Amino acid sequence: MKVVIVGGVAGGATAAARIRRLDEQAEIVVFERSGFISYANCGLPYYIGDVITDPEALTLQTPESFFARFRVDMKVHHEVIALHPDRKTVSVKDLETGREFEESYDKLILSPGARPTQPRLPGAGSDKLFTLRTVEDTFRIKGYIDAHHPKSAILAGGGFISLELAENLRGLGMDVTIVQRPKQLMNPFDPDMAAFIHSEMRKHGVRLMLGHTVEGFEERDGGVDVLLKDEPSLHADMVVLAIGVSPDTALAREAGLELGIKGSIVVDDRMETSVPDIYAVGDAVQIKHYVTGEDGLISLAGPANKQGRIAADNICGGDSRYLGSQGSSVIKVFDMTAATTGINETNARKAGLDVDKVILSPMSHAGYYPGGKVMAMKIVFEKETYRLLGAQIVGHEGVDKRIDVLATAIHAGMKATALKDLDLAYAPPYSSAKDPVNMAGFMVENIAKGIVKQWYLEDMTSLPHGITLLDVRTAEEYRGGHIDGALNVPVDELRERLDEIDAAKPVYVICQSGLRSYIAARILMGEGYDAYNLAGGFRFYDTVMNDRCLIGSATACGMDKKDTHLVPER
């Protein structure tokens, strides 16, 4: 059996190695148009920022090492320029010599990946404009920085690459501005959770120009003007376009393979295309979202590697199936970590799901053990069924392990109420006896049993008339910043001061994180009041509203604010 693989990075390299492990006699040829195979895309920004200093560390394998171990013929600087399914061959061009030839196959795997989206804008051909996708792109950017010592950079786009590059360019001492049309960074997150990411970026000196449309580029004074719609232009020494990627599927289109979203390659759960004996994996393929079952595109290394393994299994006579992707991801944002899995609230509602959420601010480990830090967690679930749909966490240490627990729970089809039952490891330096994941489960269970009723930040503009806003934090916290019009009665004084609260009016309760307000709501409900607890508390409200004011999307901040103390809940 002869297998030809187009593309030698994540999915292609994984498939090649797996085929060899399953079939020692197979002939395997990989064509990769760049000069590198099996390289770590996610590490590229860190080489630019001198966090990774050895360029060889970016490549997990070389053609020589791959051949020595797997006897796979890795042909770099070879571009497949056409597919011929009728005669089971591919046309190949040697980019070093210009020679063209045909290569036959019994089975073909397409792993072409995705290309950086290139807007057709005036001035987009400037040599001071860069994209970052390949090792060659990385060396080009790094070489430009080393040769010209730019003092400023504009990044167009607000996804993974842009944020990682912003951090690394700031580490080199550059002024960095991120410009993009949406009013938030990192679309896998809901806008409210993205506010925490925005705050961290601004804290480290990154200027955010959100909600602005780039219309072109002009070279001026040794740098580049970025032209904005209905706004003054921005000037920088260099620009990086990081506005997303598009499936690289011209070959598939010309060969008549069935295509899907954004021209992606349609595959079945065995990773086989519409043409027999041709498989496709990685960023170029359309997948099913594990949570919604809808078709989608997810450009992440984990799914690409799994798909490569599955295609290899099936080529070698097995029956492996790809169950879909839930988009689990994590990113370092300066001193913070942000992670997500499943679907966010925004996309769940777009998908027509009836959803609810809990928002909590637990400590990364036991509060009495030094060094603990607050994280913000948002858990999204389906009403009535309590099916767990997604989670987002922004914080410091411990974020990654919590998101992985939640990703596993989603994959297992657990209900959000079942999170309380998970038996998770505890020691004071690492967690609390009631882990943050367990706490989320307790909160959902309280909602399911009617023990607590919630109100949400988005309700602020439509609160009914004739209610009482009750802030149960300390007087000092209240003076530091509060929602305009809120009555302050600290929770520990509430029972003695119930006569200050009109029992005929619904009471909307606020505290720093939602814990003390939950206790207050239970006291009030026990005394016959109609009480509601603010999801996320004032810390969450404050971060989101400050962000909206900075972006310019809020009509009013809605807050009498002097200074907000982000302290652990007591």
Burial class (CB in 10 A: 0-12, 13-18, 19+), 60: middle
Local confidence band at 325 (pLDDT 50, 70, 90 cut-offs):
very high
> pLDDT, tens digit, for every residue of 43-101?
889 999 999 888 887 777 888 999 999 999 999 999 999 999 999 999 999 999 999 99
Q: Token pair of 60, please?
A: 């997990």
| Cβ proximity of 389 and 375 under 8 Å | no
How many C-beta atoms surround the C-beta of residue 310 within 10 A? 27
Please give the order of strands across the beta sheet that includes 100-104. Answer: 78-84, 89-94, 100-104
Which DSSP helix (H) or strand (E) runs through 433?
none
Q: What pLDDT, on the 0 to 100 scale, is given for residue 10? A: 86
> What does the pLDDT read at residue 121?
87
Token digits of residue 193: 């959770």
- Nearest CA to 171 out of 55, 56, 333 is that of 333
Check 42, 511, 549, 557 and give the catalytic one. Answer: 42
- State the Cα–Cα distance between residues 168 and 142, nearest whole angstrom: 11
pLDDT of residue 41: 75
CA distance 292 to 342: 9
Averaged confidence pLDDT in the chain: 93
Is-catalytic flag, 42?
Answer: yes
pLDDT at 120 over 90: no
- The band of 213, judged by pLDDT with boundaries at 50, 70 and 90, is very high
Amino acid at 463: L
Residue 558 has pLDDT above 70, yes or no: no
Average pLDDT over residues 294-310: 93
pLDDT at residue 37, rounded to an integer: 85
Higher-confidence residue of 560 and 306: namely 306
> What count of other Cβ atoms lies within 10 Å of the Cβ of residue 89?
17
* For residues 377-400, average pLDDT: 97
DSSP 35-92: S-SSB-GGGHHHHHTTSS--GGGGBS--HHHHHHHH--EEEETEEEEEEETTTTEEEE
For residues 439 and 417, what is the distance between their CA atoms, to the nearest angstrom?
Answer: 10
What mean pLDDT comes out for the span 284-311? 94
Choose from 24-38, 57-71, 437-451 the range with maximum mean pLDDT.
437-451
pLDDT score recorded for residue 567: 38
pLDDT confidence bin for 553, thresholds 50/70/90: low
Q: Map tokens 């004032």 to a residue.
A: 538
Among 137-141, 400-404, 458-462, name the most confident range: 400-404
Query: How many percent of the chain have pLDDT more than 90?
Result: 85
**Quick one: pLDDT band at residue 225, thresholds 50, 70, 90?**
very high
163-205 residue pLDDT tens? 999 999 999 999 999 999 999 999 999 999 999 999 999 999 9
Q: Which two tokens stand for residue 80?
A: 């497949």
Amino acid at 429: P
In this predicted structure, the answer to whether residue 217 has a pLDDT above a threshold of 70 is yes
Residue 569 has pLDDT above 60, yes or no: no
CB atoms under 10 Å from CB of 361, counted, come to 22
Give 134 or 291, the one with higher predicted confidence.
Answer: 291
DSSP of 204-234, one letter per residue?
TT-EEEET--EEEEEEETTEEEEEETTEEEE
- Res. 412: pLDDT tops 60: yes
The yes-or-no verdict on residue 555 having pLDDT over 50 is no
- Looking at residue 58, what is its pLDDT? 79
What is the per-residue pLDDT for 144?
95
* Model pTM score: 0.93
> What pLDDT digit, counting tens, does each position of 345-360 carry?
999 999 999 999 999 9
Q: How many CA atoms lie within 13 A of 533 on its CB side?
A: 30
**Chain centroid to CA 490: how far?**
38
Query: Which one-letter amino acid corresponds to residue 363?
Result: M
For range 278-293, the mean pLDDT: 95
